[in-house]
């Protein structure tokens, strides 16, 4: 074919342009560390990458939900642990106060301590976590238990039986609260009865019915604490699973989106070498025409 000066130049320009484009492309990959920088880089890949990204965000959110759930379960557990201690102390006092050797003065003193336990139990039952009353069901903005009368003759429940749940993975929800009136209602009744029987000197009732009521309540509270413990376990296990799957997703995403740095650097060096060779060739081929050889 007849080759002309213009052909050489045009071809050289086109080749150099393409070379530059390839080098720029690889440089962008290196600069961003990403293989996919825009949808057209890999349309099939980006669809998957986007859905993995969403999954990752969702998993992170589920872990956040679980963390918030565990914290609240722990706070509930801590409250009930205090109540357990109070009940155990009340039980000791019931045994002490049921003893016929006490006189009424001593029983009055014991009754005063029981009354203190009652106040503390009410305070614990009205405890809050992150601004929410934890024993009030869905009515989380008002104190769930209010004492009636001075001294307290009964305790009113202001909450409801609403279930508070956490979303812990797709389609899975876990109840993380206990409605206050089931777990704590009997505690107050038992303490009030004990106090009143001590004050009235009904040691028989203190020894039998009151002690019985305290034991039943204690069992109830312990069984609720057991449920909370298993909920906490379940949340913990799910969190571990999510941790693993989030790690796996991150690896998948990285394999899909990230540039292989070593490979990219090698490619870049190769392309740059090719580009420089092209530059040198062009420089040489443009120089020589017949004019250089005529006098």
Partner 1 sequence: MGLSVSLDIATRALQVQQLGVDVTAHNIANANTQGYSRQAVHFTAEVLAASGAGGGSTLLGESGRGVNASEIRRFRDQFVDFQIRDVLQLLGRYGAESQALAQAEVIVNEPTESGLGSLLANFWNSWRDLSNAPESAAARANVVAESGMLVTAIGRRHDQLRALQSDLDTEVQTIVAQINTLGAQIVDLNAQIVRMSAGGDNAGDLLDLRDLRLDDLSQLVNVTVTTRENGAISVLVGGRELVAGSQVYGLTTTPEPGNLGYHAVRWGADNVLTDVTSGKLFGLLQARDVSLVKPINDLNTLTAALITQVNAVHQTGFGLDNTTATDFFSGTDAADIAVNPTLVADANKIAAASGASLPGDASSALAIADLQQALTMNGGTGTFEDFYNSAVGRLGVSIQEARSLAQNQEFLRAHLQTLRESVACVNLDEEMTNLIKFQRAFEAAARLISVVDSMLETLINRVGLGGR
Ranges within 234-263 binding partner 1 (CB under 8 A): 257
Q: Does residue 104 bind partner 1 (CB under 8 A)? A: no
Q: Is 49 or 155 the residue whose CB approaches partner 1 more closely?
A: 49
* C-beta of residue 159 within 8 angstroms of C-beta of residue 144: yes
Q: How far apart are CA 61 and CA 262, in angstroms?
A: 34
Which one of residues 42, 77, 215, 220 is an interface residue with partner 1 (CB under 8 A)? Answer: 42
Contact between 162 and partner 1 per CB under 8 A: yes
Q: How many residues bind partner 1 (CB under 8 A)?
A: 57
Q: C-alpha distances in angstroms, 41 versus 18, 32, 55, 105, 267?
A: 17, 13, 22, 88, 17
Buried b (16+ CB within 10 A) or exposed e, 157-181: bbbeeeebebebbeeeebebbbbbb
Contact flag: residue 165 with partner 1 (CB under 8 A): yes
Q: Binding partner 1 by CB under 8 A: which of 19, 97, 136, 180? A: 136
| Residue 61 in contact with partner 1, rule: CB under 8 A | yes
Q: Which of 26, 49, 178, 193 binds partner 1 (CB under 8 A)?
A: 49
Point out which span in 64-72, 190-198, 199-207, 212-220 binds partner 1 (CB under 8 A). 64-72
Is residue 39 involved in binding partner 1 (CB under 8 A)? yes
Q: Which of 29, 166, 225, 239 binds partner 1 (CB under 8 A)?
A: 166
Residue 64 found at the interface with partner 1 (CB under 8 A): yes
Binding site for partner 1 (CB under 8 A): 1-7, 10-11, 14, 36, 38-44, 46-47, 49-51, 53-54, 57-58, 60-61, 64-65, 68-69, 130-133, 136-141, 160, 162, 164-167, 170-171, 173, 257, 289-291, 294
């Amino acid at each position: 074919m007849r080759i002309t000066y213009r052909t050489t130049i045009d071809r050289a320009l086109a080749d150099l342009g393409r070379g530059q484009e390839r080098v720029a492309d690889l440089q962008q990959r290196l600069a961003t560390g990403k293989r996919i920088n825009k949808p057209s880089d890999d349309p099939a890949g980006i669809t998957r990458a986007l859905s993995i990204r969403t999954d990752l965000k969702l998993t992170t959110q589920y872990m956040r939900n679980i963390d918030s759930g565990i914290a609240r379960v722990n706070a509930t557990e801590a409250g009930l642990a205090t109540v357990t201690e109070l009940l155990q102390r009340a039980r000791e006092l019931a045994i002490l106060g049921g003893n016929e050797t006490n006189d009424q003065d001593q029983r009055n003193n014991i009754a005063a301590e029981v009354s203190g336990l009652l106040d503390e139990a009410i305070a614990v039952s009205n405890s809050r976590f992150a601004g929410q009353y934890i024993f009030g069901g869905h009515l989380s903005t008002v104190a769930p238990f209010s004492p009636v009368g001075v001294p307290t003759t009964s305790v009113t429940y202001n909450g409801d039986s609403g279930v508070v749940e956490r979303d812990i993975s797709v389609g899975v929800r876990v109840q993380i609260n206990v409605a206050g009136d089931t777990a704590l209602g009997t505690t107050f009744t038992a303490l009030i009865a004990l106090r009143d029987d001590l004050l009235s000197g009904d040691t028989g009732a203190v020894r039998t019915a009151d002690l019985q009521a305290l034991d039943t309540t204690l069992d109830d509270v312990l069984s609720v604490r057991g449920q909370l413990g298993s909920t906490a376990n379940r949340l913990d296990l799910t969190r571990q699973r999510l941790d693993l799957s989030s790690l796996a997703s991150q690896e998948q995403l990285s394999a899909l989106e990230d540039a292989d740095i070593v490979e990219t650097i090698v490619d870049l060096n190769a392309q740059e070498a090719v580009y420089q060779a092209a530059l040198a060739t062009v420089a040489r081929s443009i120089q020589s025409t017949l004019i250089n050889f005529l006098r």
